[in-house]
Amino acid sequence: KQEVTQIPAALSVPEGENLVLNCSFTDSAIYNLQWFRQDPGKGLTSLLLIQSSQREQTSGRLNASLDKSSGRSTLYIAASQPGDSATYLCAVKEYGNKLVFGAGTILRVKS
């Protein structure tokens, strides 16, 4: 059974700092991996999707990497801003289209 773990569970940083969120998964037979952002009381916003054959994806200040063989992904946020404060969720898509989510990292960026 696929299990997804995110570390740290919570993170508080001053504005402008670069930071890394970690995601690990137990079964490397994945179709892709997605990073989402969830604001309080809201739905999920897709940030980045990495196919199983890819190593990384970039969008603006965000960079996500994938090491499928070791079961790890990282989300790098450059020059963090207070507007980045949210819960960040990592999810792996198994063959059969099921998404398995981690518990998330709650990020707070202080101004």
Chain residues that interact with other proteins, rule: CB under 8 A = 31-32, 34, 36, 41-46, 49, 51, 89, 91, 93, 97-99, 101-104
CB of 58 to other proteins, least distance (A): 16
Question: Measured in Å, how far apart are the chain's first and last C-alpha atoms?
Answer: 41
Per-residue b or e along 30-67, where b marks 16 or more CB atoms closer than 10 Å to that residue's CB: bebbbbbbeeeeeeeeebbbbeeeeeebeeeebbbbbe
CB of 71 or CB of 104, closer to other proteins: 104
Alpha carbons within 13 angstroms on the beta-carbon side of residue 53 total 0
Q: Rounded to the nearest whole angstrom, what is the least distance from the CB of residue 51 to other proteins in the complex?
A: 6
Cα dihedral across residues 40, 59, 61, 70: positive or negative = positive
CB nearer to other proteins: pick between 58 and 81: 58
Complex with other proteins: residue 35 or 109, whichever CB lies closer: 35
Task: Supply the minimum distance, in Å, between the C-beta of residue 83 and other proteins.
Answer: 19
Quick one: 97 or 111, whose CB is closer to other proteins? 97
Structure tokens that stand for 22 in this block:
């970690």
| Least CB distance to other proteins at residue 2 (A) | 11
Residue 41 in tokens:
């009381």
